[in-house]
Amino acid sequence: MKSLFEEASTLFPHTQQLRRDLHRHPELGFEEHRTAGIVAQELRALGLEVSTGLGKTGVVGLLEGAHEGPTLLLRFDMDALPIQEETGAEYASTRPGVMHACGHDGHVAIGLTVARLLAYHRDEIFGKVKFVFQPAEEGLGGAQAMLEDGVLESPHPDFSLALHLWNEKPVGWIAATPGPFMAGSDVVEINLRGRGGHGALPHQTRDPIVTAAQLILALQTIVSRNVPPLDVAVLSITQVHGGDAHNVIPENVLLRGTLRTFSKSVRELVLNRITQLTDHLVHAMECEGEIKITDLTPPVVNDETMAALVAQTAREVLPEVIVDTSYRTMVSEDMALLMERVPGCYFMVGSSNPERGLIYGHHHPKFDFDEQALIYGTALMSAVALKRLGSK
């Protein structure tokens, strides 16, 4: 089993070439046609049964082991972000305003290399490996679209794994935390309606701008004064839209933000308080308000047995690795939708390198990662798959 790190290292030039090609040609959610074509071609060349067009641009490859056994789902996301790249890398995006700023190019490269490694080890596999290359993870509903197209059918997986390159931590760090690991995510929209008028005659208006300012401040008290201190929630208002002229008080102001929680009870508490505060404050300011909540993803909750398997395998396979089993993040992931139906583990692979200036966070225009992390991700994912589907 320890040789898998050496095998992944040997395949690294191929993994790196794939990653850099994908980085040069990023595609937004549900537009990953070129990426999907490369994935399908690579998987077919390895002898996998390939299905395309699931969730519009998703690809599924099925690897049959040499022996009967359960099915393990491995998921990798493919989409880029609408960000202008500023890395200056030789492999920088060739598409203006679009870049891989979250590491999904690395995920696809890892997934294709894992497929190659596991195909080499087919005789050791008791069961099947279902490779899922998902579109539109970045809040666009890619996982749900694949579910609706039957990604968990024929065959239905028994276990699941997914990973994320993580620039918050350096290469050589792995997170495999049992239980709640990544937060659930909701979009919060509040439309405030008042009575517009001249900015010099505010007494004739019902000002939604002032109402919005009061409400933004009031909403911040929910986490600090209503959520129990030992529980966790984030409520951030990130957009304020209203007005078109410096001397006109508008009729409407739209607030939009994000809510992140780990539990249903905390989520319900926060949503109830959002409604109460909005209703009462808007009424006091003589305006009207309408609230819209969009449930994007539930929390990612790792199966304890699968998380323990990932942690144990990391210590056995990876050199000088730091395994963190308590790390959690308020970032969300729609892999949670698959994991509600298939027990599994979502783990992190450290990918930053301060000595090389690779320190920028995800979704930053200068985001890039140390490509040595590709070896760690490939080796660990392959090793866990072989352990889970190995001879009993």
Domain range summary for the chain, segments of one domain joined by +: 3-180+299-388, 184-297
Q: What percent of the chain has a predicted confidence (pLDDT) above 70?
A: 99
pLDDT tops 80 at residue 110: yes
Res. 122: pLDDT tops 80: yes
Residue 391 has pLDDT above 70, yes or no: no
Q: Is the pLDDT of residue 1 over 80?
A: no
For the chain, give the percent of residues with pLDDT over 90: 98
Mean pLDDT, residues 164-179 taken together: 98
DSSP assigned state of 168: E
Q: What is the pLDDT of residues 27-37, one digit of tens each?
A: 999 999 999 99
pTM, to two decimals: 0.93
| pLDDT above 80 for 392 | no
Average pLDDT, the chain: 97
What are the residues facing 288 on neighbouring strands? 193
| Secondary structure of 341-365 in HEC code, one letter for each residue | CCCEEEEEEEEEEHHHCECCCCCCC
- Geometric angle at alpha carbon 173, from 170 and 178, rounded to 5°: 135
Q: Which CATH architecture has domain 3-180+299-388?
A: 3-Layer(aba) Sandwich (3.40)
User: What pLDDT score does 390 carry?
Assistant: 87
Strands 179-182 and 159-170: unpaired
The arithmetic mean of pLDDT across residues 113-139, rounded, is 97
Residue 292 in this model has a pLDDT that exceeds 70: yes
Indicate the pairing of strand 300-302 with strand 179-182. Answer: antiparallel
CATH architecture of 184-297: 2-Layer Sandwich (3.30)
More confident residue, 2 or 254: 254
Task: Supply the pLDDT for residue 71.
Answer: 98
For residue range 298-315, list pLDDT tens digits in order. Answer: 999 999 999 999 999 999
